[in-house]
Amino acid sequence: MSSIIEASSTEWFSSEQRDFVLINGDAIQNLRLIAKETSAHLVFADPPYFLSNDGITCVSGKMVSVNKGQWDKIESVEAMHKFNHEWLNATRNVLDSDGSIVVSGTHHVIHSIGFALQQLRYKLLNELTWEKPAPPPNLSCRYFTHSTETLLWAAKTVTSKHTFNYQVMKELNGGKQMKTVWKMNPPLKSEKKFGKHPTQKPVELLERIILASTSPGDLIIDPFVGSGTTGIAAAKTGRKFIGIDSNESYLQLAKLRYLDTVAQPLLI
């Protein structure tokens, strides 16, 4: 695979073939820089959900704080939507003409994401639901137990000829058309052996998204890379990858996971 981006001062790690690159810094600023050098066929983004409001949740049977860090806090709904609009606009400029984007989120943020996508003239393709078989209980007993996350899939424009590997998805689904509700377990213990991220996604989820919407050799960008799950799935399926994060500890986790993955066989 050829180089996907020129080396820059913000580049934090790259593979020997320069087909897996991690960048340390602000997502919006670096998306604007990347747009001048290369273009992606898919962006997967798991942006902040802004859930850190001093509440509580249940993890492994224990009551814990929902606070994840300063990156997960914001002062108002208006500020949240402004942020979502800005990074989605920067993302639109980094996609090739037939590219698409998948954004994951809970109800706290996904409606803002959907509205911003429409404002920016993306073409909404599907609303996918990731169903978690054994979600943590609702400790307050005042709401239904949260057991899903939503993923919005959108093409760059209404004229984009987006990739959809229909036959691959049908084969994965036992010969039947793939539906929009995907029942999958959370990340396996083996996916957290170097550490974990508070909103880490299972590799299986990202593999399915990538296999559905890209071809081998395509470039995928993740502007909020976290523990690097998108990059791991990209490497396992023969795609190129650029990941951005402002937190070096998460980049270190993504790097360790990548180095542990590269010796594994491709899923193609």
* pLDDT attached to residue 10: 76
**pLDDT tens-digit series, residues 176-230:** 999 999 999 999 999 999 998 888 999 999 999 999 999 999 999 999 999 999 9
Q: What is d(CA 27, CA 120) in angstroms, rounded to the nearest whole number?
A: 18
Give domain status of residue 5, yes or no. Answer: no
User: Residue 40 maps to which CATH number?
Assistant: 3.40.50.150
Helix axes 229-236, 248-261, angle to 10 degrees: 20
**Percentage of the chain modeled with pLDDT above 90:** 74
Q: Per-residue confidence at 77, pLDDT binned at 50, 70, 90?
A: confident
Res 262: pLDDT: 83
pLDDT band with cut points at 50, 70 and 90 for residue 65: very low
Map 234-254 to HEC letters. Answer: HHHCCCEEEEEECCHHHHHHH
Instruction: Give domain status of residue 221, yes or no.
Output: yes
Tell me the two tokens of residue 163.
């990739």
What is the spatial distance between Cα 258 and Cα 233, in angstroms, rounded to a whole number?
A: 9
Could you tell me the pTM of the whole model?
A: 0.88
The secondary structure element, H or E, covering residue 167 is helix 166-172
What is the total count of domains within the chain? 1
Confidence of residue 141 (pLDDT cuts 50, 70, 90): confident
Amino acid 61: pLDDT? 52
Range of the domain at 108: 11-261
DSSP one-letter string for 47-64: ------SS-EEEETTEEE
Residue 236 to residue 225: CA distance in whole angstroms:
16
Over the stretch 215-263, which tens digit does the pLDDT of each residue have? 999 999 999 999 999 999 999 999 999 999 999 999 999 999 999 998 5
Is the residue at 4 inside a domain?
Answer: no
Q: What percent of the chain stands above pLDDT 70?
A: 86
Domain membership flag for residue 244: yes
- Asked if residue 237 is part of any domain, the answer here is yes
Lowest mean pLDDT among 2-11, 33-42, 56-65: 56-65
DSSP for residue 4:
-
Q: What is the pLDDT of residue 266?
A: 54
Domain-embedded: residue 248: yes
51-55, 71-75, 77-81, 257-261: range with lowest mean pLDDT: 51-55
Residue 88, pLDDT > 50, answer: yes
Q: How many CA atoms lie within 13 A of 131 on its CB side?
A: 6
Q: Name the one residue in this structure whose structure tokens are 């559905």.
A: 212
First to last CA, the chain: 16
For residue 69, the model assigns a pLDDT of 53
DSSP 154-166: EESSTT------H
What's the average model confidence in pLDDT over 68-92? Answer: 82
Q: Does residue 33 carry a pLDDT above 70?
A: yes
